[in-house]
């Protein structure tokens, strides 16, 4: 594994970095850019080459992988092509859905990536899917693709959250070369992309976007990795724990699709009612929003992994706990105005505390290198006049 580390990690970062620089001017010439509109609030045309650069990096380093799953690569290519076409000109969700089904069937039939068992998820014994395994796997992979596609709504979120999930999968799959090798390509490649996508280093907006090609690639790859991690005799984690690892994308995508259906809308219709849209409306900055979501995702992922591996909690307890948290999240999103009110109160308390700290600092003087507190003069007016005389 050490040789694999040196062969892939450093090249993956610099190959992606090189591709981002090369493709950036090309994307502007051919029109592969994201233009602002009523739903997209960014300024100017932003290149949609993040996902394409990471895919080309994967293609360049695929030869060095210890275990080469060509069915995965073919499906990934199909999805990236679909995403790139959608980045040029929005495709119908029906066409996208058909392509996602085909990609899922390819990895199921020829890639050996299939959900055959859900473990003891309900507490009544192991749930074996039997003839329904292919159908359920297609459903799960499509759900994963769209979950990560839907979180790509603010600068840096989809890349940062995907990076976190890849790291968690890498940690639990350290002894599985087929899992580790893909993670060792995606982790440094995403880090290179985030240098241009996060609002860091004095940058006030992203200079490169991920694009649908990238979010679909991330969602598909993560779906394949968690299926590989949770199936077979040598499984690493249970299917219940997988839900905790990708909890936030699942929470957000399922809750918003249910709300859209309840309103009589298409579950794939775009809007600005996601969790990552509500937090900025409550007063949090883009970077603060990302930190909050990453903290929640990391905490939930660690709870699931620790619960199974260290505490040895049963599958059914993890599953029902997950459902309980999802119910709480769904209620909060369905009453988002209440949640925004709570968030604004928390922001007000936080800002009030910051102002108090600032005021205390202002009341502190430095005199000959010694810090002295300026205290209010509590003497009576007569005493103050006497002291002046």
Q: Verify that 242 and 99 share a domain, yes or no.
A: yes
Phi, psi of 47 (to 5 degrees): -60, 135
Written as six digits, the tokens of 28 are: 């502007």
Q: Does a structural domain hold residue 296? A: yes
pLDDT tens, the chain, 389 aa long: 545 555 567 789 999 999 999 999 999 899 898 877 555 555 668 999 999 999 999 999 988 888 889 999 999 999 999 999 998 888 888 899 999 999 999 999 999 999 999 999 998 988 999 889 999 999 999 999 999 998 988 888 999 999 999 999 999 988 888 898 899 999 999 999 999 999 887 788 888 999 999 999 999 999 999 999 999 877 899 999 999 999 999 998 888 888 888 877 777 777 677 787 788 877 788 899 999 999 999 999 999 999 998 898 999 999 999 999 999 988 877 776 666 666 666 666 666 655 655 555 544 433 344 444 444 554 555 454 544 44
Query: 140 Cβ partners below 8 Å, 6+ apart?
Result: 115, 223, 227
Angle between helices 211-230 and 133-150 (to 10 degrees): 140
Domain enclosing residue 361, as ranges: 346-388
Q: How much is the pTM?
A: 0.85
Q: Does a structural domain hold residue 237? A: yes
What local confidence, expressed as pLDDT, does residue 11 receive?
Answer: 87
What local confidence, expressed as pLDDT, does residue 323 receive?
Answer: 95
Q: Verify that 204 and 287 share a domain, yes or no.
A: yes
Q: Verify that 124 and 156 share a domain, yes or no.
A: yes
Q: Does a structural domain hold residue 84? A: yes
Q: Verify that 87 and 186 share a domain, yes or no.
A: yes
Q: Verify that 212 and 359 share a domain, yes or no.
A: no
Q: Does a structural domain hold residue 341? A: no
Q: Verify that 158 and 275 share a domain, yes or no.
A: yes
Give dist(CA 73, CA 82) in Å, integer: 14
What local confidence, expressed as pLDDT, does residue 331 receive?
Answer: 85
Q: Does a structural domain hold residue 340? A: no
Q: Does a structural domain hold residue 49? A: yes
Q: Does a structural domain hold residue 267? A: yes
Angle between helices 2-30 and 177-197 (to 10 degrees): 40
Give dist(CA 190, CA 17) in Å, integer: 10
Please name which of 216, 223, 195 lies closest in space to residue 51, comparing C-alpha atoms. 216
Q: Verify that 185 and 298 share a domain, yes or no.
A: yes
**Number of other CB atoms surrounding residue 357 within 10 Å:** 10
Q: Verify that 243 and 287 share a domain, yes or no.
A: yes
Which long-range contacts (C-beta less than 8 Å, at least 24 apart) are formed by 160-163? 160/194, 160/198, 160/290, 160/294, 161/248, 161/249, 161/293, 161/294, 161/297, 162/186, 162/190, 162/218, 162/222, 163/187, 163/190, 163/191, 163/194
Domain end, chosen from 312, 334, 356, is at 334
Q: Verify that 30 and 119 share a domain, yes or no.
A: yes
What local confidence, expressed as pLDDT, does residue 40 receive?
Answer: 55
Q: Verify that 190 and 287 share a domain, yes or no.
A: yes
H helices then E strands: how many in the chain? 15, 4
Q: Verify that 322 and 356 share a domain, yes or no.
A: no
Domain count, the chain: 2
- Provide Rg for the chain, Cα atoms: 25
Q: Does a structural domain hold residue 339? A: no
What local confidence, expressed as pLDDT, does residue 375 receive?
Answer: 42
Please give the full DSSP string across 53-76, using - where no structure is assigned. HHHHHHHHHGGG-SS--HHHHHHH
Give dist(CA 267, CA 256) in Å, integer: 8
Cα dihedral 319, 325, 326, 327, rounded to 10, equals: 110
**Residue 6 burial (CB < 10 Å; 0-12/13-18/19+)?**
exposed
The C-alpha angle with vertex 301 and arms to 297 and 304, in degrees rounded to 5, equals 145
What local confidence, expressed as pLDDT, does residue 165 receive?
Answer: 96
Q: Provide the 3-class DSSP secondary structure of residue 31.
A: coil
Q: Verify that 257 and 356 share a domain, yes or no.
A: no
């Amino acid at each position: 594994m050490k040789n694999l580390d040196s062969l892939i990690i450093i090249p993956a970062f610099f190959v992606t970095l090189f591709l981002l620089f090369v493709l950036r001017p090309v994307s502007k010439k051919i029109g592969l850019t994201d233009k602002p509109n009523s739903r997209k609030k960014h300024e100017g045309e932003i290149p949609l080459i993040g996902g394409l650069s990471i895919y080309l990096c994967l293609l360049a380093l695929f030869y060095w992988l210890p275990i080469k799953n060509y069915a995965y690569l073919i499906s990934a290519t199909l999805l990236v092509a679909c995403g790139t076409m959608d980045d040029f000109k929005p495709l119908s969700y029906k066409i996208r859905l058909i392509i996602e089904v085909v990609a899922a069937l390819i990895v199921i039939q020829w890639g050996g990536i299939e959900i055959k068992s859900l473990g003891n998820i309900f507490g009544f014994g192991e749930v074996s899917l039997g003839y329904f395994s292919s159908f359920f796997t297609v459903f799960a992979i499509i759900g994963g693709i769209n979950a990560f596609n839907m979180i790509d709504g603010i600068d840096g979120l989809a890349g940062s959250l995907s990076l976190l999930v890849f790291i968690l999968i890498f940690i639990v799959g350290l002894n599985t070369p087929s899992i580790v090798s893909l993670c060792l390509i995606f982790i440094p490649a995403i880090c290179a992309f985030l240098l241009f996508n996060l609002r860091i280093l004095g940058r006030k907006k992203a200079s490169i976007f991920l694009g649908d090609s990238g979010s679909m690639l991330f969602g598909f790859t993560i779906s394949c990795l968690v299926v590989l991690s949770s199936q077979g005799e040598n499984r690493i984690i249970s299917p219940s724990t997988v839900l905790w690892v990708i909890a936030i994308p699942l929470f957000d995508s399922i809750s918003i699709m249910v709300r859209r259906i309840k309103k009589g809308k298409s579950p794939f219709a775009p809007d600005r009612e996601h969790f990552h849209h509500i937090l900025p409306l409550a007063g949090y900055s883009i970077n603060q929003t990302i930190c909050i979501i990453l903290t929640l995702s990391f905490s939930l992922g660690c709870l699931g992994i620790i619960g199974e591996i260290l505490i040895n909690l049963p599958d059914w307890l993890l599953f029902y706990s997950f459902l309980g948290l999802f119910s709480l999240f769904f209620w909060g999103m369905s009453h988002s105005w209440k949640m925004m009110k709570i968030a604004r109160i928390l922001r007000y308390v936080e800002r009030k505390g910051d102002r108090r700290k600032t005021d205390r600092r202002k009341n502190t003087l430095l005199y000959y290198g010694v810090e002295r507190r300026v205290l209010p003069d509590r003497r009576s007016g007569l005493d103050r006049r006497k002291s002046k005389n």
